[in-house]
């Protein structure tokens, strides 16, 4: 079993904030998406892999829980881990924290499907990806 891996670091800029002064939900989604690509890379699903094999990922489910506000100037860190990997799908967890205070700002649980970009149909992960994904499974992570 693994610990959550650092998959994103950034900062909340003023243009990320909405009319009530906190980071708008669209930016949480953007940061979680960037973290996702880094987590997938840890399983062996790199940009080069996707290009060389005509493969891609499709998001099919996501659940986000907002716990604390983030404001302009806050530093953000996301740590991620795999919850489950099956033949064609991967379910994973992200935890976004205010890097200065350590407070959890939001969590997300997402499911992605591996697909053939030419046929637009799901296909099995390579065995090496399944193996690496299982090595990244994190124990006792609460659902979002």
pLDDT of residue 1: 61
pLDDT of residue 2: 77
Establish if 45 belongs to a structural domain. Answer: yes
In the predicted model, what is the mean pLDDT of residues 105-112? 98
Q: Are 22 and 106 in contact (CB under 8 A)?
A: no
pTM for this predicted structure = 0.94
pLDDT of residue 122: 98
Establish if 72 belongs to a structural domain. Answer: yes
Q: What is the overall mean pLDDT for the chain?
A: 95
- Count of domains observed in the chain: 1
Structural domain that includes position 22: 5-135
Q: Is the per-residue pLDDT at 12 higher than 80?
A: yes
β 75-85/89-98 pair status: antiparallel
pLDDT of residue 113: 98
Establish if 143 belongs to a structural domain. Answer: no
The CA radius of gyration of the chain, in Å to the nearest whole number, is 16
β 55-66/5-11 pair status: unpaired
pLDDT of residue 143: 61
Establish if 140 belongs to a structural domain. Answer: no
E strand or H helix at 127, and its extent?
Answer: helix 127-135
CATH code of residue 51? 3.10.129.10
pLDDT digits (tens, 9 = 90+) for 32-59: 999 999 999 999 999 999 999 999 999 9
């Amino acid at each position: 079993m693994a610990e959550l891996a650092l998959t994103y670091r950034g900062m909340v800029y003023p243009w990320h904030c909405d009319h009530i002064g906190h980071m708008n939900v669209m930016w949480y989604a953007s940061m979680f998406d960037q973290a996702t690509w880094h987590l997938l890379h840890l399983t062996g699903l790199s940009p080069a892999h996707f290009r060389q094999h005509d493969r891609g990922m499709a998001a099919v489910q996501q659940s986000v829980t907002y716990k604390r506000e983030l404001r302009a100037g806050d530093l953000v860190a996301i740590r991620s881990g795999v919850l489950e990997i099956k033949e064609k799908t991967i379910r994973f967890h992200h935890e976004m924290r205010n890097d200065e205070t350590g407070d959890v700002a939001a969590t997300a649980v997402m499911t992605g499907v591996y697909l053939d970009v030419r046929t637009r149909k799901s296909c099995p992960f390579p065995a090496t990806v399944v193996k690496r994904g299982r090595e990244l499974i994190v124990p006792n992570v609460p659902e979002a």
